[in-house]
């Protein structure tokens, strides 16, 4: 058995003017990402505002993503409010043919590591589908390395982890303490800043919000890393830092990323949480800067919102060939190697 690997995109959910899920636009986003060569999808994650959807809406989002994913593997968020509901969602995901589910540490209450271990053991014992443990301490209870290690070594259903702790030391310990003993355990990075270094030290891939906005860039870093083309991977990683720090630094996560989707030509609508006027302005300002960085990367559809003189004048960004050509070239190589 091989470890889950590659880049799984945690998609946003677009809404219409009434705040309902904009299903057609969601389908369009998924198809566009399929065309960009992403490995798979990660619906109902933090990026997809799982916690602001109703249970039925989460099922609906998942169904749509599966239908449009063209057979690519799905890692579906299943962090439901209690064990019974988690298991119900696991069965639903299994029936739809998902590759695995991803479950965060429990949120709201602060729990002991012993409780959290017991929680995942119960789920793992009964789940009909493989499980990835999603560590995101900024939003939910952290899952410690010793707990994760015991779960990984005891529970066949637990096949990997996604780490969004921003902690490269912890990430390396996951590789060193767990993957070294169970090579088919998938260790995925969930924080853009660490993509290149995580791959360098042995990560299997990542699930990165930015991959929905700039799939070309994230896939290029991943593919360059896989090809051993580290100089390029590092160079583009620093570009990704610029893009990511703008989007993640915007108020009211994931609004910053939603602005990114808009700049790539989608109608995202507002996230399901109100914005103050001050925040609207901050996001508009960030969006202008983001447009310029995107234009610099060669994404011409974003250039229209960049107010800099050279962009405003020509609307043809100076180095647009850069990333797109490189991606084409690298992907060509990758494909030819796979034959």
Give the whole-angstrom CA distance, residue 239 versus residue 114.
Answer: 41
Residue from 83, 284, 316, 321 that binds its own copies (CB under 8 A)? 83
Give the whole-angstrom CA distance, residue 51 versus residue 330.
Answer: 37
- Minimum CB separation from its own copies for residue 96, in Å? 21
The pair of three-digit structure tokens given for residue 311, joined into one six-digit string:
């962009």
Residue from 85, 284, 321, 335 that binds its own copies (CB under 8 A)? 85
- Write each residue from 120 to 159 as x if it is in contact with its own copies (CB under 8 A), else as -, in one continuous string: -xx---------------xxx-------------------
Q: State in Å, rounded, how far the first CA of the chain is from the last one.
A: 21
Q: Point out which span in 1-9, 93-101, 171-179, 206-214 binds its own copies (CB under 8 A).
A: 171-179
Residue from 60, 73, 150, 252 that binds its own copies (CB under 8 A)? 252
Order of strands, sheet of 40-41, starting from the edge strand that comes earlier in the sequence: 40-41, 6-9, 205-207, 186-189, 158-163, 131-135, 100-104, 75-77
Q: By CB under 8 A, tell whether 11 contacts its own copies.
A: no
Q: What is the 3-state secondary structure (H, E, C) of 47-77?
A: CCCHHHCCHHHHHHHHHHHHHHCCCCCEEEE
Find out whether 297 and 239 touch, Cβ atoms under 8 Å. yes
- Write each residue from 277 to 316 as x if it is in contact with its own copies (CB under 8 A), else as -, in one continuous string: -xx-------------------------------------
75-77 and 100-104 strand pairing? parallel
Nearer to its own copies, 278 or 339 (CB): 278
Nearer to its own copies, 23 or 88 (CB): 88
Give the whole-angstrom CA distance, residue 100 versus residue 257.
Answer: 25
Catalog residues that contact its own copies under the rule CB under 8 A: 19, 46, 51-55, 81-85, 106-112, 114-115, 117-119, 121-122, 138-140, 166-169, 172-173, 175-176, 191, 193-194, 196-197, 200-202, 230, 234, 237-238, 241-242, 245, 251-253, 272-276, 278-279
């Amino acid at each position: 058995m091989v470890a889950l690997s590659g880049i799984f995109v945690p998609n946003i959910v677009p809404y219409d003017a009434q705040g309902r899920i904009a299903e057609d636009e969601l389908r369009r986003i998924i198809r566009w990402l399929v065309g960009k060569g992403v490995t798979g999808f990660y619906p109902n994650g933090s990026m997809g505002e799982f916690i602001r959807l109703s249970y039925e809406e989460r099922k609906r989002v998942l169904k749509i993503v599966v239908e449009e994913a063209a057979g690519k593997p799905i890692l579906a968020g299943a962090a439901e409010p209690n064990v019974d509901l988690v298991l119900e969602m696991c069965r639903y995901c299994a029936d739809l043919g998902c590759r695995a589910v991803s479950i965060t540490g429990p949120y709201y209450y602060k729990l002991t590591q012993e409780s959290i271990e017991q929680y995942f053991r119960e789920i793992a014992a009964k789940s009909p589908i493989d499980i990835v443990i999603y560590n995101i301490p900024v939003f939910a209870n952290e899952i410690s390395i010793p707990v994760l290690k015991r779960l990984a070594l005891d529970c066949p259903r637990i096949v990997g982890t996604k780490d969004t702790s921003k902690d490269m030391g912890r990430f390396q310990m996951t590789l060193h303490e767990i993957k070294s003993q169970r090579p088919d355990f998938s260790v995925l990075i969930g924080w853009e800043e660490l993509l290149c270094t995580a791959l360098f030290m042995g990560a299997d891939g990542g699930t990165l919000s930015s991959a929905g906005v700039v799939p070309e860039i994230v896939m290029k870093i991943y593919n360059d890393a896989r090809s051993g083309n580290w100089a390029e991977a590092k160079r583009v990683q620093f570009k990704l830092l610029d893009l990511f720090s703008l989007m993640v630094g915007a108020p009211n996560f994931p609004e910053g990323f939603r602005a990114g989707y808009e700049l790539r030509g989608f109608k995202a609508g507002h996230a399901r949480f109100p914005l103050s006027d001050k925040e609207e302005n901050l996001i508009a300002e960030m969006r202008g800067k983001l447009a310029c960085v995107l234009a610099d990367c060669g994404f011409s559809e974003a250039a229209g919102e960049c107010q800099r003189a050279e962009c405003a004048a020509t609307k043809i960004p100076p180095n647009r060939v850069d990333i797109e050509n490189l991606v084409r070239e690298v992907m060509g190589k990758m494909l030819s190697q796979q034959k």
